[in-house]
Amino acid sequence: MTTTDLSENPPKYVEAALPVPLRRVFTYRVPAEISGSIQIGARLKLPFGRRSMTGYAVELHTELPADVEVDESKIRDVIELSDDEPLITPEILKLTQWTADYYASFWGEMLKASLPAGINSEKVRPRRRKSVRLIAGADANEGKALTETQLEILEILSGNGGEMLFTELLEQPGITPSPLNTLAKRGFVEVFVKEVDRDPLRNAIIPAKDDFTLTEEQSAALASIDEAVSTSQFRSFLLHGVTGSGKTEVYIRAMKHTLETGRSALMLVPEIALTPVFSRRLRAVFGSEVAILHSNLSQGERFDEWRRIRRGDARIAIGTRSAVFAPLENLGLVIVDEEHDPSYRQHESPFYNARDVAVMRAHMIGAVAVLGSATPAMESFYNAQTGKYEYLKLPERIGGRGLATAELVDMRDVFKRFGKDVPLSPELLDAIVETHKRGEQVIILLNRRGFSQFVLCRSCGETMKCKNCDITLTFHRGDNRLLCHYCNYRESVPKVCPKCESEYLYFVGEGTENIAATLAKRFPDMRIARVDRDTMSTKGEIDEVLLKFAAGGLDMLVGTQMIAKGHDFPNVTLVGVISVDIGLGLPDLRSAERTFQLITQVAGRAGRGKKAGRVLIQTYYPDHYALRFAKDQNYAGFYAEEIKYRQRLNYPPFFVLASILIKHRDRQQAAKMANLLRRSLDAANPAKNVRVLGPAPASIARLKNEYRLQIILKGINRRALRETIDIALADAEHHGCDLKTIFVEIDPVNLM
Ligand code: ADP
Ligand code: ZN
Ligand code: ZN
């Protein structure tokens, strides 16, 4: 791709990707001082308009490439080369380029997202510490006799492998800087500055390694994965194992095997599942070979862990979403645990789904991908059904423990009994009392926060739905109307329920945050903690509560999804699920799937020890199939029902979705841009391989002073969808549409 052989001629031009929402790279001139050291993958400080910003070298040229249309005199110089050793490996360069294209996103933004946060700022730097080391050969008996303290220092140093941090040495009783300095002057020791990695687990108590004999099912699953890793070819597996079936053990052994074959391994975990317990366990098994990348680390820790991977010191990386871009070389295995989890989806630009990028990464380099879940995403199970993924199953819990039984508490009935809204049913309150009496623990799961409002009939559970879309209408308080966010259908709020004529219509969407306070008042003798993103923001806070709960220092945890997954608390025998099915009323095609997954996952938290577990689910929808199948933990039944719905409404996995958001400060302009784009989408798609819905107001119709409209696309396949979008964007721009107002999201997780 380079114009001439770079090994003989130093590059004169560089093409750089910049973290800006533009689908192109930019050409700069390489000043002579850096042309000998610039490499593809290095960061560059570049002029951009009146500013300077950090870009990434993606191609080098000895001559101006023919396809660059800029006047040579207008090409500007690179200001500075930021890295002598490129931070970005060729593999990550290719992977980010593919990802940007797949998600109609921007390469430069994707490259920036692939690096640890804050790396471009001056604040994140390697940590340097003053250290002391013994100088070999130095003979303590030589020259003038040493003092006792001086001799002691030499002894301590040699007892510590000949080298220590200055501060560590000074912590020893009786040691002061003065004798140390004398030793240094006389050439016995050397004081120097050393880079010290910040270790996220530095103060953690690491558990002993456990050594199980795998069950037959675990062995069979592991054998398939190991065999695939040995062939060094791309293969992909769906590991479908019920909660507590020992998937984690399979991952750990598969990673071990991969290391033994001389290759590296990557494991992705959802935001919340990277429990303190799990990281410690991995450290016990892999020692310093494992690096940890997740959002609760400090920037410095993340930077150091990332550099350990880049240097090849850590050959196993565990992390959340952005760890999919961890610069591991010679990758043999990529694991995505809880692959259905929505936190793999990046919710702001650049959009991507780390699960799908992980599979692509494995595909590009001939590695093995393993997606694991107790409740696989519809798309993943469909891929297993159609043979795209090899299917592995762990159908039983370890130790023959049964899955917790789940009971539905019909809240319509509770409402009738009390004649008013009570958030906690007598059934659940009684169960809490009994559990506590036995000295066992309780988890209460609340709904997630921050959803839009919709109308629910308290008597029959009916929600008001769109006539065209089979999607719940959203209540807009401003004009007192119900609105469909897909097709723009609207109607006024009914006075009585259209189904049962009850007057008890209720606007759902508020008021779960008080549950923890209510519980605390009701059970003053119980030690209760609330865990969610609102109450806990600082690093370590969540860890602390979870560890305390695991150690029996708390009787009850109240929280959102965060506490639903991944944790292993043997003394929890009651899980109460409160209003979690509110999701079922949301205008979201995945609400049934989400609800099913969430309840199954949380039910998996109960009864993991020797005692049996009980799960109580409060619901207004006891007849909904998501609830019925979740109650019985029947994945196959749920899948069979849900896939029919997806097929009927042209949803994934049968169709590929995109959502296009149009944002503008001026209402008319927003509408104008949206209509221009709609026209171009229709023109770009004469064969109607892509169905276009909207524009309609987005569920948040105005945000930060901007009006927001939404267009939904349903494509018969990915290529048709991407082509239509590309052609339409170019056409719309040609007709005066400002592309800066347009935000494309491929495979949106929520259509809201
Ligand atoms: P999953 O990830 O499928 O929910 P885990 O891997 O957490 O399940 O396993 C559940 C529990 O069983 C854990 O406490 C784990 O240590 C234990 N376990 C896993 N495999 C075995 C085994 N072969 N023998 C005994 N205990 C095991
Ligand atoms: Zn509609
Ligand atoms: Zn009704």
Give the start-to-end residue ranges of the domains of the chain.
Answer: 13-114, 128-195, 216-400, 405-449+512-646, 452-509, 656-746
Q: Report the pLDDT value the prediction gives residue 537, as an integer from 0 to 100.
A: 57
DSSP letters of 539-591? TTHHHHHHHHHHTTS-SEEEESGGGTSS---TTEEEEEE-SGGGGGGSS-TTH
Check pLDDT > 80 for residue 68. no
User: Over the stretch 184-202, which tens digit does the pLDDT of each residue have?
Assistant: 888 888 888 888 887 877 7
- Residue 682's alpha-carbon distances to 639, 662, 709, 718, 724, in angstroms, are 34, 17, 17, 17, 9
Check pLDDT > 60 for residue 676. yes
- Nearest-CA residue for atom 17 of ligand 1: 246
Say whether domain 405-449+512-646 belongs to CATH 3.90.245.10: no
Say whether domain 13-114 belongs to CATH 1.10.730.10: no
Q: Is 241 in the pocket of ligand 1 (CB under 6 A)?
A: yes
Q: Which ligand is nearest to the CA of 273?
A: 1
Say whether domain 216-400 belongs to CATH 3.30.750.24: no
Q: How far is the CA of 386 from the centre of ligand 1 (A)?
A: 29
DSSP letters of 343-400? GGB--SSSP-BHHHHHHHHHHHHT-EEEEEESS--HHHHHHHHTTSSEEEEE-S-GGG
Name the strand (E) or helix (H) holding 92: helix 90-102
CA gyration radius, the chain: 29
Mean predicted lDDT score pLDDT of the chain: 86
| Percentage of the chain modeled with pLDDT above 90 | 47
Q: Which ligand is nearest to the CA of 375?
A: 1
- Nearest-CA residue for atom 15 of ligand 1: 246
Fold of 656-746: Alpha-Beta Plaits (3.30.70)
- Report residue 3's pLDDT band, with 50, 70 and 90 as the boundaries: very low
Peptide bond into 327 cis (omega under 30): no
Q: Which ligand is nearest to the CA of 458?
A: 3
Residue recorded with tokens 């969610």: 532
The stretch 341-360 carries a mean pLDDT of 90
User: Over the stretch 730-742, which tens digit does the pLDDT of each residue have?
Assistant: 999 999 999 999 9
Nearest to 23 by CA among 298, 307, 409, 350: 350
Name the strand (E) or helix (H) holding 592: helix 591-603
Q: Which atom from ligand 1 is nearest to the alpha carbon of 394?
A: 3
Sheet holding 742-746, edge to edge: 690-703, 706-715, 656-664, 742-746
Q: How far is the CA of 246 from the centre of ligand 1 (A)?
A: 4
Q: Which ligand is nearest to the CA of 253?
A: 1
Q: Give the distance, in angstroms, between the CA of residue 230 and the centroid of all CA atoms in the same chain.
A: 29
How do beta strands 264-268 and 331-337 pair?
parallel
Q: Which atom from ligand 1 is nearest to the alpha carbon of 249?
A: 6
The stretch 429-443 carries a mean pLDDT of 95
Phi first, then psi, for residue 231 (nearest 5°) are -80, -10
> In CATH terms, are 216-400 and 405-449+512-646 the same topology?
yes
Q: How far is the CA of 589 from the centre of ligand 1 (A)?
A: 33
Q: Is 248 in the pocket of ligand 1 (CB under 6 A)?
A: yes
Which tokens in the block code for residue 408?
Answer: 């539905």
Task: Give the Cα separation of 254 and 259 in Å (integer).
Answer: 9
Q: How far is the CA of 454 from the centre of ligand 3 (A)?
A: 14
Check pLDDT > 70 for residue 272. no
CB 166 within 8 Å of CB 175 = no
Q: How far is the CA of 502 from the centre of ligand 3 (A)?
A: 5
Q: Select from 213, 218, 396, 568 the residue to mutate for testing ligand 1; criterion: most ligand atoms less than 8 Å from CB.
A: 568
Q: How far is the CA of 114 from the centre of ligand 1 (A)?
A: 32
Check pLDDT > 70 for residue 4. no
Q: Report the pLDDT value the prediction gives residue 346, as an integer from 0 to 100.
A: 85
- Nearest-CA residue for atom 5 of ligand 1: 246
Check pLDDT > 80 for residue 613. yes
Q: Lowest mean pLDDT: which of 76-90, 114-128, 381-395, 674-688?
A: 114-128
CB 225 within 8 Å of CB 237 = yes
- Report residue 419's pLDDT band, with 50, 70 and 90 as the boundaries: confident
- Nearest-CA residue for atom 9 of ligand 1: 246
Q: Which ligand is nearest to the CA of 278?
A: 1
How do beta strands 405-410 and 614-619 pair?
parallel
Q: How far is the CA of 486 from the centre of ligand 2 (A)?
A: 5
- Report residue 80's pLDDT band, with 50, 70 and 90 as the boundaries: very high
Q: Is 214 in the pocket of ligand 1 (CB under 6 A)?
A: yes
Check pLDDT > 60 for residue 273. no
The number of C-alpha atoms within 13 Å of 491 and in the hemisphere containing its C-beta is 13
Which tokens in the block code for residue 193?
Answer: 């500055």
Phi first, then psi, for residue 460 (nearest 5°) are -115, -10
Q: How far is the CA of 591 from the centre of ligand 3 (A)?
A: 21
Q: How far is the CA of 215 from the centre of ligand 1 (A)?
A: 10
Q: Is 226 in the pocket of ligand 1 (CB under 6 A)?
A: no
| Percentage of the chain modeled with pLDDT above 70 | 89
Q: How many helices (DSSP H) and strands (DSSP E) are in the chain?
A: 21, 30
Q: Which atom from ligand 1 is nearest to the alpha carbon of 243?
A: 4
Residue recorded with tokens 């270790």: 199
Which tokens in the block code for residue 372?
Answer: 């694991």
Q: Select from 249, 253, 393, 394 the residue to mutate for testing ligand 1; criterion: most ligand atoms less than 8 Å from CB.
A: 249
Q: Which atom from ligand 1 is nearest to the alpha carbon of 210?
A: 16
User: Over the stretch 741-752, which tens digit does the pLDDT of each residue have?
Assistant: 999 999 887 664
Q: Which atom from ligand 1 is nearest to the alpha carbon of 337?
A: 2
Q: Is 243 in the pocket of ligand 1 (CB under 6 A)?
A: yes
Q: Which ligand is nearest to the CA of 589?
A: 2
Q: Which atom from ligand 1 is nearest to the alpha carbon of 374?
A: 3
Q: Report the pLDDT value the prediction gives residue 103, as an integer from 0 to 100.
A: 92
Q: Report the pLDDT value the prediction gives residue 564, as an integer from 0 to 100.
A: 65
Q: Which ligand is nearest to the CA of 338?
A: 1
Residue recorded with tokens 């090409």: 75
Hey, which residues does 319 pair with through a beta bridge?
268, 293
Check pLDDT > 80 for residue 314. yes
Q: Three-state secondary structure along 46-79?
A: EEECCEEEEEEEEEEECCCCCCCCCCHHHCCECC
Q: How far is the CA of 257 from the centre of ligand 1 (A)?
A: 18
- Nearest-CA residue for atom 6 of ligand 1: 246
User: Over the stretch 154-190, which tens digit does the pLDDT of each residue have?
Assistant: 888 888 888 888 888 888 888 888 888 888 888 888 8
Task: Give the Cα separation of 471 and 531 in Å (integer).
Answer: 31
Neighbouring CB atoms inside 10 A of 467's CB total 10
CB 431 within 8 Å of CB 576 = yes
Single-letter code of the amino acid located at 308: R
Q: Which ligand is nearest to the CA of 550?
A: 1
Q: Select from 398, 568, 569 the residue to mutate for testing ligand 1; criterion: most ligand atoms less than 8 Å from CB.
A: 398
DSSP letters of 627-658? HHHHHTT-HHHHHHHHHHHHHHTT-TTTSEEE
- Report residue 512's pLDDT band, with 50, 70 and 90 as the boundaries: very low
CB 620 within 8 Å of CB 592 = no
Q: Is 245 in the pocket of ligand 1 (CB under 6 A)?
A: yes
Q: Is 246 in the pocket of ligand 1 (CB under 6 A)?
A: yes
Q: How far is the CA of 82 from the centre of ligand 1 (A)?
A: 46
Residue partners of 35: CB distance under 8 A and separation at least 6: 10, 11, 12
Sheet holding 163-165, edge to edge: 163-165, 128-134, 189-195
Name the strand (E) or helix (H) holding 713: strand 706-715
Neighbouring CB atoms inside 10 A of 677's CB total 28
- Report residue 392's pLDDT band, with 50, 70 and 90 as the boundaries: very high
Q: Select from 248, 252, 341, 571 the residue to mutate for testing ligand 1; criterion: most ligand atoms less than 8 Å from CB.
A: 248
Name the strand (E) or helix (H) holding 745: strand 742-746
CB 329 within 8 Å of CB 262 = no
Check pLDDT > 90 for residue 358. yes
Single-letter code of the amino acid located at 325: F
Nearest to 368 by CA among 270, 237, 240, 256: 237
User: Over the stretch 469-480, which tens digit does the pLDDT of each residue have?
Assistant: 666 787 776 677
Q: How far is the CA of 696 from the centre of ligand 2 (A)?
A: 10
Task: Give the Cα separation of 259 and 251 in Å (integer).
Answer: 12
Phi first, then psi, for residue 441 (nearest 5°) are -105, 160
Which tokens in the block code for residue 76?
Answer: 């500007």
Q: Is 244 in the pocket of ligand 1 (CB under 6 A)?
A: yes
Q: Which atom from ligand 1 is nearest to the alpha carbon of 570?
A: 14
Q: Give the distance, in angstroms, between the CA of residue 680 and the centroid of all CA atoms in the same chain.
A: 34
Q: How far is the CA of 702 from the centre of ligand 3 (A)?
A: 31
Helix (H, G, I), strand (E, B) or coil at 218: helix
Task: Give the Cα separation of 539 and 271 in Å (integer).
Answer: 13
Q: Which residue has the higher pLDDT, 321 or 470?
A: 321
Q: Which ligand is nearest to the CA of 497?
A: 3
- Report residue 451's pLDDT band, with 50, 70 and 90 as the boundaries: very low
CB 597 within 8 Å of CB 340 = yes
Q: How far is the CA of 456 from the centre of ligand 3 (A)?
A: 8
Helix (H, G, I), strand (E, B) or coil at 662: strand
For domain 128-195, the CATH class is: mainly alpha
